Amino acid sequence: MVRETLIEKLTTAFAPSHLEVIDESHLHAGHSGTRPEGETHFRVKITSEAFIGQPRLARQRAVMNLLSEELAGPVHALAMKLKTPEEAGADA
């Protein structure tokens, strides 16, 4: 359920052309902040025109502010790769 909430919020806010929300909780079993049911550690990869003209820190702040409720509760860790379509194309 947490993953679906993240997807919904990120899609609504950033209208991404590419979005991956990966639950990596199983990689952190036994670490601080984990729960047996998982959904505590996520990696998000977003490609969006909304990031054009924004430095990396501003992009990260925008995502953190959007997901502040989840980060204060069920989500213990969030790794991010936030790119513009041009940046994503350069990686191809």
- Residue 17, pLDDT above cutoff 80: yes
DSSP state letter for 3: H
- All structural domains of the chain, each given as residue ranges with its CATH number in brackets, are 2-91 (3.30.300.90)
Question: Nearest Cα to 37, choosing from 52, 23, 20, 21?
Answer: 23
- Residue 38, pLDDT above cutoff 80: no
Residue 31 region by backbone torsions, left for phi larger than 0, else alpha for psi between -120 and 50, else beta: beta
Cα–Cα distance between 27 and 38 in angstroms, integer? 10
Per the CB < 8 A criterion, the answer to whether 10 and 21 are in contact is: yes
Note the pLDDT of residue 34: 57
Q: How confident is the model at residue 16 (pLDDT cuts 50, 70, 90)?
A: very high
- Residue 51, pLDDT above cutoff 60: yes
